[in-house]
Structure 1
């Protein structure tokens, strides 16, 4: 999901490119025709990063015509995604946002000249002269819109009535698009009902005006800034809209997902024909990129009750991320200030777990302002407030204890609370996805808790305590329970953020040792099938490896042998926990270079290295 905050032009460019990088790294089945959708804005407006010149627009249309591209109308696109229409392989759709008058004076004549269908998304409160930001120039009139629609070439759709704006979304005053999350008003977040009513009222006004002014209802919604929620999309369906359009990069295949989550590629002012050609012809399975560069950030090291220190810490973080060319941040959403690994509180507003400070939303927003993709890093099981005082629903061992005190993955009542927590996070924070922490494991002697024993007896009719801990079937059963716990949490998050990026930590040992399922409950092949990205915790110094770089090479070899490089982020350590010191810069760099030479494109590190501030 695209998120844009603040004034946003340079930041939007950075996020668009990162989204394009991630979209291109997701394999696409090339055997089926797909539709590329281009997103244009203003024409002939100097100083605007997303305004193309009239000459450049015409050259792009000429190029696509000469190359034999089939231009798709909105009606064709809807029929195609419903499976009612087949399209040729080289299919493209051109869309224009905001409803500027330059569309009528500059674009419409070109569409007629080349007989190209186009889709125009209007902000109806702007068109109706009810409100308009100072930086928005003239918009096309209702008469002009009717004229263009009568030509049969232009389809006018909605860009909302009055939701193309940003308002406060957290206690610190951060602002973002008003569709994407509950607003923070008068000292509290909107309720679910208030959010829903606000959107329903806007959509109702859209359809009233479209019917009154254009003689028909809007068939599609183009989300401002590309920000949306599943609730918002469901409400557009209730309002009789047949498609919604985003800004996430990529191409669209037939199916309902492409109809309501249509991906568009934003056109920038400096895109010449060669850039356009690359957009339209890139091989999604082998696209050459510099890859993902992820930093996993401890919010414990940012937070301070002293607001000046909090701000200084945050600025230091931003500098570090910029210096290290980071494009993805896995931001700690839970609190563990004593470092014991057990979670007592979190950093976001919710109805389940105590809140240490409601700052996750603020830090996320500030990172996004710098063009960084942010995912929430948090556990699934490791919440102390969800564990009963008698530990009856906690993971229990018949031998070696694990290093986290955590909820049993077999405790369904506890998992219901986890689902609420993940949904609250999604509702109150416009975050792009989640990184599931490494608490999702069970060692060889775990779990023999009461919920686990009940589940085993119910499924197999046997006493769990009589089963050999090394039994392969037992290992697979435990792994399935962990996967189920993860799935429930992710599904709850996706109730609001349906296109969320999902990552999960895995120990490097799960790649290197064949019996890892029995003593960890983790399987790399299983991860590759279930998650957008697997984050391999390759920590040679923590694991006391005598040959740390050879260890990293072995990890990389397994990843390549499993064809997992595109969907794997290898995370190295920047701190030596055994010696309680930061790794020398040369050692840190050598880890990175070893992995890059071994063919790893997606790299990350933990912990973040800016924690040297004076007290």
Structure 2
């Protein structure tokens, strides 16, 4: 759920937005909401500001804690803080992930802080620590920005990290050797997961005295399931995720992946996912917008996708984004397929 949909510079309008959101979630009868704790008004997936007080980024509004509390108390749902792992725009003076082909940041991907730089890691840990200290939530959803392509990271600190792991400092040399390539992808995959576990500890640091269950979920690109070789394009692996987190959030978005037959593609994705991970640990995230055409996907089609996934044995299903201003998807179409009695776990 985008807090950008709730935020408004007019406090009266913002309050009306919040009331509308709470009413909608209450009517849905869903169990869990992934609530975006960062501001991304331009939709590029990079955090320009945050919705909670912190030491490093501007605060667009101190909104996350209030909305999370209202959702928990009035809509009776669990709330996960949906946070970036690396894609924080802290301006100049920080080292960002670079591509070996250009020596610069890739224009085709999120701007990401290099996790191989200790100053970057410390800053991100402090942001998560501030989140845990100043807000109340039930778990974390790690954004889909925690990836490296097969040309990243080429920053000096990254090359030093590869050398420490008994890999060459030369990425092109790694790419030209299948054995080195396999080792490099494994190293990067585990490095990213280990860093998210550090962030989990940071977010939970001030919460431990509450003795409440704290759960984690991380977004996984579907192509890494459908085409295993593509794991090297993202440094993501489903079984690694299953070992590191309570839930693997598969981005089950057929139009984003340009699937020729969305229904068949979803069935195959479900089958391949269940062959690796238990249904209880999987969350399938559907899309409600076709970002290629910039048009909403019909609610009836989204509901059909939910039915297909249910038939294949997927229990935990949600969608993104939820535009409560336009009632999209249509709650009257979606509510029957998101019935708690059918063990569905909806995550707008």
TM-score computed with the length of structure 1 as normaliser: 0.49
Q: What are the equivalent positions in structure 2 for 1:525-536 lying under 5 Å apart?
A: 525-536=239-250
Pairwise CA RMSD: 1.7
Aligned counterpart for 2:15 among listed residues 292, 296, 311: 311
Aligned equivalent of 2:343: none
Aligned with 1:582 (options 286, 296, 314)? 296
Runs of 5+ unmatched residues, structure 2: 328-348
CA distance in 1, matches of 2:154, 2:277: 35
Q: Does structure 2 retain, via aligned residues, the 8 Å contact 1:557–1:598? A: yes
Over 3 Å counting, the alpha-carbon distance change for 1:435 and 1:461 in structure 2 is closer
Residue of 422, 427, 432 corresponding to 2:133: 427
Mapping 1:246-325, distance limit 5 Å: 297-325=1-29
CA separation of 1:575/1:324 partners in 2, compared to 1, >3 Å: closer, same or farther? farther
In structure 2, the CA distance between the partners of 1:590 and 1:478, relative to structure 1 (3 Å rule), is: same
Superposed counterparts of 1:51-200, under 5 Å: none
Aligned residue among 77, 84, 88 for 1:383: 88
1-side partners of 2:173 and 2:16: how far apart? 55
Shift of 1:587: 0.6
Q: Distance in 1 between matches of 2:172 and 2:284?
A: 39
> How far apart are the structure 2 equivalents of 1:493 and 1:340?
24
Note the C-alpha offset of 1:381.
0.6
Aligned residues: 314
Q: 1:519 Cα deviation (Å)?
A: 0.8
Which residue is equivalent to 2:38?
A: 334
Q: Is 2:151–2:171's contact at 8 Å kept on the other side of the alignment?
A: no
Aligned residue in 2 for 1:497: 207
Would you say the 8 A contact 1:410–1:481 is kept in 2? no
Q: Distance in 2 between matches of 1:575 and 1:461?
A: 42
The alpha carbon displacement at 1:338 in A equals: 1.4
Quote the Cα distance in structure 1 between the aligned partners of 2:114 and 2:308. Answer: 38
Q: Residue 242 of structure 2 contacts residue 277 of structure 2 at CA under 8 Å; is this kept in 1?
A: no
Give the match's secondary structure for 1:515: helix
| The structure with more radius of gyration | 1
What CA deviation, in whole Å up to 9, does each residue of 1:144-181 have, x standing for no partner? xxxxxxxxxxxxxxxxxxxxxxxxxxxxxxxxxxxxxx
Tell me the TM-score normalized by structure 2.
0.86
**Residue 543 of structure 1 corresponds to which residue in structure 2?**
257
Quick check: 1:575–1:582 contact (8 Å CA) kept in 2?
A: yes
2:216 matches 1:510: no
Higher mean C-alpha deviation, range 461-470 or range 433-442: 461-470
For residue 586 of structure 1, report the CA deviation from its aligned partner: 1.0
Match of 1:571, SS state, is strand
Tell me if 1:474 matches 2:179: no
CA deviations on 1:497-551 (whole Å, 9 max, x unpaired) are 3431111111111111111331110000111111011111010011111110111
Please name the residue that 2:340 is paired with.
none
Matches of 2:46 and 2:100, distance apart in 1 = 21
CA distance in 2, matches of 1:514, 1:364: 37
In the TM superposition, residue 322 of structure 1 has moved relative to its aligned partner by 2.8
Match of 1:449 among 155, 170, 173: 155
Q: Is the 8 A contact 2:270 2:312 kept in 1?
A: yes
